[in-house]
Structure 1
């Protein structure tokens, strides 16, 4: 057992706290990871606000890189000293999806069996719920060994750690779920971190045109810097009309909704070409409903309406490949890191994220290069 600093959301809506937590020794199938960096993702704010579930207190943080410090007695997939990016899809290898060769859809992903706990105060011993099974706003964390993906140790931790969630979700939504390729057109509605990552993924795949849609000029600028060939300012123009005008009047082959609201999903539905694909990667709230659409339009337009789970990624396949592209200068992960902050600065980072001032604030822990 070790005691380290970690950031928790103790109760719904309250500011986060830096506290001392207990990290158990790695048991069977588990690994203890010294965290080097962790991105501040909107999902962490959802946890703090009770938008995921009410299993407080939460140990926040999940978009992380680190070094394996210890492994359980049966772990062979990673070893002490490995530089890893953490993921929240440790595949089981046994469920019906895994057995049919589609591990990216694993229906029985798992986390560490032991629980990290509060170390001090009247609540000492209280079990923590780690965000997405990771809990990486901490100096060290306990995860399932399958949540660790070994990557090139010379890569910048603050940049490649972002593959652990938002950047992978966006790139994967374009390449894996949307199956975007050379010669196909794509539009992305919503240009926060996930949407801009989808644009970067489309650029990697050679798509053209690549159309970015948002109401914020700063976000459209970031989208252009990462590969968008055209932009539509949805604060002053209808997104459907704008996308159609830029695609010969037909609509895009793939339209990604990176916002996750009924109105943006409906825009995506009507902004795609015949036989085109809509990809929902923005996360809706439980109260949101599919918009009222004439069923004849669903039938008559053909194509596919898809949801993207974590960019339909397989971390063991996708993380090393994307890190290699980053190291080659072909994928600018550094552009997603707006600022590097300390573990005490997360509440202020939530506020900057709320106002759209950053793509990602990244917590950098002591000892990170």
Structure 2
């Protein structure tokens, strides 16, 4: 039987979010219903609300989530009822040209649940990143569920988006390793995850760059060995000075703006790597001299979800967390109830939080 539960939607561009009744179908073939335990409040959810992704309103917001599988549909073998899972938005197909080349983290045909969750009047909802997890229970494709060892849902659920994106940008896409230098421009949740990932990978010079002194101070707790306040310093000159005059082996741009991308380009060593993980708006453009692109060599890369493979990376990172080697708790600024999402967006705007995390049942 379909279930009616409470969830948070964005009904129109710029409108405050609403807590409403939502109908969740029974899982069909290849689908699963997950009882959500926690869900992080991510900038991407705000982008959805503001029409920055598309205009398929109403949106069911939330996607950085962990919970327990409640039911599965026909043919599902990846997970079973009772499994503790982290939700992901790249359920690989196994059949596209990327998957067949042995690079499933680039899967070009990732999939979501076929059925739609709806309002009680039958209006179909567009779930954020194919998940929609500011809700008591959500319907997803079974491949969007990654089984992991039981851990604090509020912490490990953040692997579902921002933390994985940052960690993967440094480690998977950038390939930072032992003894390397890395600069991270933009020290929000994604940037700090890149810093933490670089520390786990053995980088010895980890430079945090931001215009906010509070964020730079926080970056030290994630592993930054040096900080650069680019509101008062030339970021490129500062990074070069901290790397023997050469530039960093890897520079992660976690802002998504032309001016910071240009900083990243010029702040890397010859044959170094630039990784763009900050999400630009469609109007942003960057112009670089072709002779500089040619003459500096190396790589200019974009990182899609940290180039992660959830089935490989989520269990590994949860284990590092359980061992005390990857501090996911540090990303959780506050735990809030489902009625506090709008206030969390405001705190995000003001730079007061790294992550607000909705804990289902909290404050209800």
TM-score (norm 1): 0.97
The yes-or-no answer on 1:169 pairing with 2:170 is: no
CA–CA distance in structure 2, aligned partners of residues 296 and 110 of structure 1: 40
Match of 1:340 in 2: 335
Match of 1:258 in 2: 254
CA–CA distance in structure 1, aligned partners of residues 229 and 157 of structure 2: 31
Conserved? CA contact 2:255–2:278, under 8 Å:
yes
CA–CA distance in structure 2, aligned partners of residues 226 and 294 of structure 1: 35
The yes-or-no answer on 1:357 pairing with 2:358 is: no
Measured after TM superposition, the shift of residue 367 of structure 1 is: 8.6
Match of 1:49 in 2: 50
CA–CA distance in structure 2, aligned partners of residues 75 and 325 of structure 1: 28
Measured after TM superposition, the shift of residue 366 of structure 1 is: 2.4
Match of 1:328 in 2: 323
Measured after TM superposition, the shift of residue 143 of structure 1 is: 0.2
CA–CA distance in structure 1, aligned partners of residues 253 and 288 of structure 2: 17
Conserved? CA contact 1:41–1:63, under 8 Å:
yes
Match of 2:18 in 1: 17
Matches within 5 A, 1:5-84: 5-84=6-85
The secondary structure found in structure 2 opposite 1:18 is strand
Match of 1:273 in 2: 269
> For each residue in 1:133-175, what CA deviation from the matched residue of structure 2 results, as whole angstroms up to 9, or x when unmatched?
000000000000000000111x100000000000000000000
Conserved? CA contact 1:36–1:367, under 8 Å:
no
Match of 1:128 in 2: 125
CA–CA distance in structure 2, aligned partners of residues 350 and 3 of structure 1: 26
TM-score (norm 2): 0.99
Match of 2:145 in 1: 148
CA–CA distance in structure 2, aligned partners of residues 278 and 72 of structure 1: 42
Matches within 5 A, 1:222-237: 222-237=218-233
Stretches of structure 1 that go unaligned for 5 or more consecutive residues are none
Measured after TM superposition, the shift of residue 222 of structure 1 is: 1.3
Measured after TM superposition, the shift of residue 4 of structure 1 is: 0.3
Measured after TM superposition, the shift of residue 235 of structure 1 is: 1.1
RMSD value, Cα: 0.9
CA–CA distance in structure 2, aligned partners of residues 23 and 221 of structure 1: 43
Stretches of structure 2 that go unaligned for 5 or more consecutive residues are none
Match of 2:97 in 1: 96
Measured after TM superposition, the shift of residue 26 of structure 1 is: 0.3
Conserved? CA contact 2:337–2:362, under 8 Å:
no
Q: Please identify runs of 4+ aligned residues in structure 1 that moved more than 4 A.
A: none
Conserved? CA contact 1:352–1:358, under 8 Å:
yes
The secondary structure found in structure 2 opposite 1:347 is helix
